[in-house]
Amino acid sequence: MSEKKKIDIEYSQLDSERMRINVGPQHPSTHGVLRLEVEVDGEIVTDVVPHLGYLHRSFEKHCEYMTYPQIIPYIDRMDYISAMNNEWPYVMALEKMLDVKVPEKVEYLRVIVAELNRIANHQIAVATFGLDAGAFTPFLFYFRDREYIIWILEKLSGARLLYNYFRVGGVAGDVYPTFKEECHDVIAKVRKTNAEVMNLLIHNNIFIKRTAGVGILTPDVAINYGCSGPVLRGSGMAHDLRRDEPYSIYDRFDFDIPVGKGEVGVVGDCWNRNMVRMHEMEQSCRIIEQALEQMPMEGDVTAAIPKRIKLPKGEIYSRAENPKGELGFYIVSNGTDKPERLKARGPSFVNLSVIPEISKGYMFADLILILGSIDIVLGEVDR
């Protein structure tokens, strides 16, 4: 038995096998219950197949059984990080169909809460993106600051995350006496932390090395894939619905649309997408400041709310600029108080579809960063 077997290996014949890994549905960095089936060749990603539906709650089917105001809480639960922004296009659609004139004060209040929520959303986006890169401290800085924003929104609406605040033609609650001061305080805090995180994370050499030039999304591809929001703007397209087709009172404010400029890396890479979010927080601060200044303090925010909401027969597609991109609602009304069909076009859902396109050929660790830079919420992807 001690006879040694002579093994002939034809080295050119050796075939290395690719490994398929399931990233998720339980995984620290899929930001929810997303499952990515990843094929890797060593550390290089050769294929990504997203599998969705782990958080599917039949949103669209439910809506067909709900009256129009009853749907608003369900909409909160789509993108639960920026619920205020979610409600807006839906309420706007109903207002357009019913021809309701929204009071001035309500418009300002909506702008303020939506922009506050946009800051909160971007804080989470940047924080978790940093966490994906391994930086833990900015994550907690942002969560600490986000709490102040949530407190304001809680005082207005009574809820921390799922506000159910917008009504057709109004909002649920009026401002409280110290509202303006608290908003100014929060803006100061946001700016201070942003400056700190700029130093600590965004311009950190390791972070730049990790994110710059990774997951490059060219504008043509981004538009073809229907990307919107910071993902599209990170590719250098100045596409922002608040500017391109100003809804509500956004035409009254002076603000810039930050786009990826490629100060570091290439336009359209993870770093630039992330940087757009950092700049957008600052722009949101500017909008809030102007809105606080112009907002009339008198007026009843619930005055214009119709008692009974019954839409005429018709269809509408209404969209608004959510923190994550363009959120659209396609509502088909059959003349009753319930929608015949309600389709939600979630920005996360559409932005996520670009993942297989931009992550091939990068390393496994980059895939996580690309996913983080797209900033998805699975509640909206799966609905």
Partner 1 sequence: MQSTNFIWDLFGVNLLTVVAVVALPLGFVLIYALVAILAELKISAWIQERLGPMRTGPYGILQPVAEVIKLLQKEDITPDASSKLLYNLAPFIIFSGAYAAFAVIPFSSAFMPANINVGLFYVFAIGSISAMGIVMGGWASSNKYSLMGAMRSVSQLISYEIPAAMAVLSIVVLSSSMNMQEISHAQTGYFWDWYLFGGPGSWTKVFIIPFTITLAIAYFIASLAETNRVPFDIPEGESELVAGFHTEYGGIKFAMFYFAEYANMFVVSAIFTTIFLGGWNSPFGEFLQGPGWGVMWFILKSFSIVFVQIWVRWTLPRFRVDQLMYLGWKVLLPVSFICFFAISLFVMFK
Partner 2 sequence: MTAQEIFEKLRTEAGDAVIECVVQPSYDPFIRIAPQAVFDICHSLRDDELLAFDYLMSLSATDLGDDLGVVYHLYSTKWKHKLVVKTQVPKDNPVVPSVERIWRSADWHEREAFDLLGVRFDGHHNLIRILLPYDWEGHPLRKDYRTPETYHGMKV
Residues in touch with partner 1 (CB under 8 A)? 19, 21, 27-29, 43, 130-137, 140-141, 144, 200-201, 204, 206-207, 209-210, 363-368
CA 278 to chain centre: 13
Pairing of strands 35-41, 19-23: antiparallel
Q: Does 20 bind partner 2 (CB under 8 A)?
A: no
Q: How far is the CB of 52 from partner 2 (least distance, A)?
A: 6
The SS3 of residue 247 is: coil
Q: How far is the CB of 129 from partner 1 (least distance, A)?
A: 10
The SS3 of residue 340 is: strand
Whether cis (ω within 30° of 0) applies to the bond prior to 25 is yes
Q: Which of residues 177-236 bind partner 2 (CB under 8 A)?
A: 221, 223-227
| Residue corresponding to tokens 């986006």 | 125
Question: CA of 199: how far to CAs of 203, 207, 208, 314, 374, in Å?
Answer: 6, 11, 12, 52, 22
Residue 223 interacting entry, from partner 1, partner 2, none, C-beta within 5 to 8 Å by type: partner 2
Q: Does 319 bind partner 2 (CB under 8 A)?
A: yes
Inter-residue contact 239 to 226 (CB < 8 Å): no
Backbone φ and ψ of 43, nearest 5°: -105, -5
Q: How far is the CB of 184 from partner 1 (least distance, A)?
A: 22
Structural tokens at position 302: 């619930």
Residue 206 interacting entry, from partner 1, partner 2, none, C-beta within 5 to 8 Å by type: partner 1
Q: How far is the CB of 118 from partner 1 (least distance, A)?
A: 24
Q: Which stretch binds partner 2 (CB under 8 A): 30-38, 145-153, 264-272, 316-324?
A: 316-324
**Nearest Cα to 125, choosing from 348, 287, 346?**
348
Residues 6+ apart with CB under 8 A from 104: 296, 299
Among 213, 268, 323, 328, interactor with partner 2 by CB under 8 A: 328
Which CB sits closer to partner 2, 88 or 225? 225
Where along the sequence are the contacts to partner 2 (CB under 8 A)? 52-53, 56, 58, 60-61, 64, 97, 221, 223-227, 237, 239, 244-245, 311-317, 319, 326, 328, 330, 332-333, 340-341, 343, 345, 349-350, 353, 357, 382-383
